[in-house]
Structure 1
């Protein structure tokens, strides 16, 4: 799979946007994983250089974090992606804190000039699917937002 974020079953899309951050807290249940302090940052491509999108979040679960799947999707896309579609997307790299079940997870993807030129303008969202080591999951369809302006 390329270093692009894809919308499974819909179309390949590059993640683009003006620098932006959005804090969001989600918890599936009292014992399930929690996602918080999420942010997304966009660096536009320049002549001869790719740009990038970076997403960072803090994930906690008392059993630890098994995986964090990340998907950027344009706000104009209807319907929003589902948790089931997240199985085909790339994973963030997570660094676990010592002993507290928390991890800081980061995902970065390159954005080419062609990707930037063809991406839908407006608000984009970053969806996150977290799977804990004990199998509990939480899906956050709008963990972070950013805006594509050009």
Structure 2
């Protein structure tokens, strides 16, 4: 084999290794990703309380630190601007369990009393989610899922 071919092959391998390292480093710098978000609302019936449950999968290479959840009516003052990250810092957290790799399955569930249901606006609601990873990066999805009341 000529010396020129050996040098070209080695140089090519170094370039490919560098590109792979960059791709891995770049992937590690991504904010959390939300997938498979669903919301389910069950109204109170007779003597049984209702419920709202929300589930999402969060993928974060640094690990999931927190997932905040807020249900809000589409016909409200939030409709113009949507909830902000600052608004979301004050709301309740979902419970997250490992789902394999860098993914966690997060669930938020709240009981809905007859009184709460009676005073809640009717119509379409959205679920906002703020996911934060262990490195402090966050993703805000103001309409991760919808449900009707």
* TM-score normalised according to structure 1 size: 0.76
Report the equivalent of 1:92. 94
Corresponding residue to 1:82 among 81, 84, 90: 84
User: Which structure carries more strand by proportion?
Assistant: 1
In structure 1, runs of 5+ residues without a counterpart are: 1-28
Deviation for aligned residue 1:46: 1.3
1:30 to 1:133, Cα distance in 2 relative to 1, 3 A: closer
Shift >2 Å, 4+ stretches: none
RCO greater where, 1 or 2, for CA within 8 Å and sep 6 or more? 1
**Which of the pair is proportionally richer in helix?**
2
Q: Secondary structure at the match of 1:88?
A: coil
CA RMSD of aligned residues (A): 1.4
SS in structure 2 of the partner of residue 63 of structure 1: coil
- Residues 68 and 91 of structure 2 are in contact (CA less than 8 Å); yes or no, is this contact kept in structure 1? yes
* Structural mapping, 1:86-125, within 5 Å: 86-98=88-100, 100-125=101-126
Deviation of 1:58 after TM superposition, in Å, equals 0.4
TM-score, reference length from structure 2:
0.76
Count of matched residue pairs: 119
User: Alpha-carbon deviation of 1:127?
Assistant: 0.2
Q: Is residue 41–residue 148 contact of structure 2 (8 Å, CA) maintained in 1?
A: no
